[in-house]
């Protein structure tokens, strides 16, 4: 619950809370009911807005990688050789599994 929501809730429930005038902040010497939310509540930008850009970039890179591997496979099946980047890859210890 943000401070603004808490303050709005406190104002609407004043008749049920008999000591609402006695609620103070821990780090300020002011009453909560007297605080100005526009000066007090400065929120930082939420990082979840950027997560959609990151996910989109990752999906795009995955599609490009699948496209490149598919293209290499197609060239190998039709022409019988691998394109330049795939043919220059070094041998790995686990390559004997695929032969």
Phi, psi of 36 (to 5 degrees): -95, 110
Q: What pTM was computed for the model? A: 0.44
pLDDT digits (tens, 9 = 90+) for 54-98: 999 999 999 999 999 898 888 888 988 877 777 777 777 777 776
Q: Which residues contact 20 (CB under 8 A, 6 or more apart)?
A: 10, 13, 14, 33
Contacts of residue 31, defined as CB under 8 A and 6 or more positions apart, other chains included, come to 21, 22, 23, 24
pLDDT tens digits, 17-45:
777 677 766 666 677 667 766 666 555 55
Query: Where do the structural domains in the chain lie, given as residue ranges?
Result: 3-40, 48-89
Distance CA(31)–CA(23), nearest Å, equals 6
How many angstroms separate the CA atoms of 69 and 40, rounded? 54
DSSP reduced 3-state for 3: helix
Distance CA 18, CA 22 (A): 9
């Amino acid at each position: 619950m943000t401070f603004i929501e808490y303050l709005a809730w406190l104002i609407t429930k004043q008749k049920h809370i008999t000591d609402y005038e006695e609620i103070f902040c821990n780090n300020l010497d002011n009453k909560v009911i007297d605080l100005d939310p526009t000066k007090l509540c400065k929120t930082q930008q939420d990082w979840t807005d950027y997560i959609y850009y990151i996910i989109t970039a990752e999906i795009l890179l995955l599609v490009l990688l699948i496209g490149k591997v598919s293209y290499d496979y197609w060239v190998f099946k039709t022409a019988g050789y691998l394109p330049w980047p795939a043919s220059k890859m070094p041998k790995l210890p686990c390559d004997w599994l695929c032969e």
